[in-house]
Amino acid sequence: MTGRFTAVRASDAVYALGEGPVWDPARRSLLWVDIDAGAVHEGRLDPVTGTVEPTGSHTFGGTVGAVAVSADGEFVVAEREVLTRVDTAGRRTELARVLPPGVRSRLNDGAVDPAGRFLVGSMALDDRKGQEVLVRLDGTACVTLDEDLTLSNGLAWSPGGDRLYNIDSTPGVVWERDYDPATGRTGPRREAFRLTGGMPDGMCADAEGNLWIAVFGGGRVECRDPRGRLLATVEVGAPNVTCPAFAGPDLDILVITTAATGADPAAHPGSGLLFTARVGVRGLATPYWVPPRP
């Protein structure tokens, strides 16, 4: 699969720092966050037109880096320093503290592993380098996978779930390691490849095992094989592209979030919008988060 594609606008709503789209097939709902607004948004994706109709939102007191959903419709939300559970009645419970109070960092991108565990990373809010973490939530305990990142970002697994990919945006590295979905055990981390010409941000995988990576500042999503070979490019009508995800009943629509922050609205009027593209391949189904039992 090779090619060049162009994404189309999917809605009119503008988000300061749109991120982290997630497809919920049971409710045929799309979730995404606006990090700076501290909001989790829900919407209805039209599988024919590729447009998204916002249907609701949940706001929090600080930043929101990521959201995941359970089979029953509960959320796990990465607030600035903690992970919060939102049950189907809207009640909120702190599950785990990931970052110490007052640190100049915040939680950023997160995703669910093939067994239903939530992983999330952090990013520095100052010029510190190499001090950020990637953790996995096991029940209500956090297991640290990395503690030397600067801007932990996109996460994806191979089709069999036996390899984990994660991005550290500041050096532009895509890391990989062996991953055991049954236990969460990981092998040594190794560099898969690096990106140039923009900062790698959010990421997802398709059913063929290739990686779709948002290039922040580059106005595009790149599809690369696990060794880094460029296979396809999706041009997006906004420079600050943040995250792609496959959605829709057939997982054949690539939903792309963008950020208005840091872009000139006159020069780039698409900044902060949702976009969609059909790229001729299907994505991997996003696993549901499995909440801890009481």
Please tell me what DSSP assigns to residue 282.
Answer: P
- pLDDT for residue 2: 66
Overall number of domains in the chain: 1
Block residue for tokens 């959010």: 202
For residue 263, the tally of other CB atoms under 10 A from its CB is: 19
Separation of alpha carbons 136 and 32, rounded Å: 20
228, part of any domain: yes
Is the model's pTM score more than 0.85?
Answer: yes
Domain for residue 28, yes or no?
Answer: yes
Q: How far apart, in whole angstroms, are the C-alpha atoms of residue 40 and residue 34?
A: 7
Residue 13: exposure state from Cβ atoms within 10 A (0-12, 13-18, ≥19): middle
CB neighbour list of residue 37: distance below 8 Å, 6 or more residues apart: 15, 16, 17, 59, 64
Residue 285 lies in a domain: no
Q: How far apart are CA 13 and CA 127, in angstroms?
A: 32
Q: Please report whether residue 290 resides in a domain.
A: no
**Nearest-angstrom CA–CA distance, 289 and 73:** 9
- DSSP-assigned letter for residue 125: S
Q: Looking at the domain assignment, is residue 52 inside a domain?
A: yes
284 occurs within a structural domain: no
pLDDT digits (tens), the chain, 294 positions: 569 999 999 999 999 999 999 999 999 999 999 999 999 999 999 999 999 999 999 999 999 999 999 999 999 999 999 999 999 999 999 999 999 998 999 999 999 999 999 999 999 999 999 999 999 999 999 999 999 999 999 999 999 999 999 999 999 999 999 999 999 999 999 999 999 889 999 999 999 999 999 999 999 999 999 999 999 999 999 999 999 999 999 999 999 999 999 898 889 999 999 999 999 999 999 999 999 987
Per-residue model confidence (pLDDT) at position 265: 85
- Asked if 30 and 293 count as a contact pair (C-beta separation under 8 A), the reply is no
287 is a domain residue: no
Q: Which of 180, 201, 206, 250 is catalytic?
A: 201
Here the CATH number for the domain that contains residue 247 is 2.120.10.30
Residue 26 domain flag = yes
pLDDT at 1: 55
Identify whether the C-beta of residue 19 lies closer than 8 Å to the C-beta of residue 56.
no
Per the structure, the complete domain to which residue 260 belongs is given by 3-277
Q: What are phi and psi of 246, to 5 degrees?
A: -80, 135
87 labelled catalytic: no
